Amino acid sequence: AAYPLSKSNLKFRSRTIYSWYFVVTMIFNGGLIPTFMVVKETGLMDSIWALVIPSAVNVFNIVLMLNFFRTQPIELEESAQMDGAGVWRTLWSIYLPISKPSLATIALFTIIFHWNSWFDGMIYMNSPSNYPLQTYLRTVIVARDLTNMNASDLSVIANISNRTVLAAQLFVSMLPVLCIYPFLQKYFVKGLVLGSVKG
């Protein structure tokens, strides 16, 4: 969506209409109850798709990619067209390889957004066995279930403070993101297209 919206009005005449369509959906949201009703009526309740599909297209990420594509020199596209590349070939062979920093940023934003969204699991999942990890960790902290523990387990838990449990939850919730970040960090570089346009 960001690639065609980054073109001028001469190349894409309906660009302004589509841009406003995306901006309006970013500003005005239906709210929690209509979103819940749509998820329920489409039969997505208690499945992983209830967590993925409602937030699959983030307009902020589209705007981020749109601004990245606009900063690229027009000579890259013109040279590809002179070599006979079409629109799709230009997108896949030229623009996507040089947009790895933006894609890595969007991937990191999306991973952190989905990783921290414990509330979606609370409202879209009926059975606790389908809870995402953040929702499960929240339920462990808020309501500790002591029914399945024997006397020795209870004596161990009596020595653990609430701050220790909160610190353990924080560490467990941060660990996957900390493991992913070093692999995405190499894409956060400047000047990736520096020198690609001569003259």
Domain ranges of the chain: 2-185
- pLDDT number for residue 175: 82
* Helix, strand, or coil (residue 185): helix
- pLDDT number for residue 191: 42
CATH 3.40.190.10 fits 2-185, yes or no: no
Model confidence at 58: pLDDT above 60? yes
Match 């902290």 to its residue by tokens: 141
Match 């970040």 to its residue by tokens: 181
Other CB atoms within 10 A of residue 55 CB: 13
Note whether 130 and 122 are within 8 A (CB): no
Q: How far apart are CA 77 and CA 17, in angstroms?
A: 24
| Whether the model pTM is above 0.85 | no
- pLDDT number for residue 100: 83
For the chain, what percent of residues have pLDDT higher than 90?
3
Q: How far apart are CA 186 and CA 181, in angstroms?
A: 9
Q: How confident is the model at residue 41 (pLDDT cuts 50, 70, 90)?
A: very high
CA within 13 Å, CB half, 178: 6
For residue range 140-199, what is the model confidence (pLDDT) as tens digits?
A: 767 655 555 566 655 666 666 677 777 777 787 778 878 877 777 666 654 444 445 554
Average pLDDT over the chain reads 79
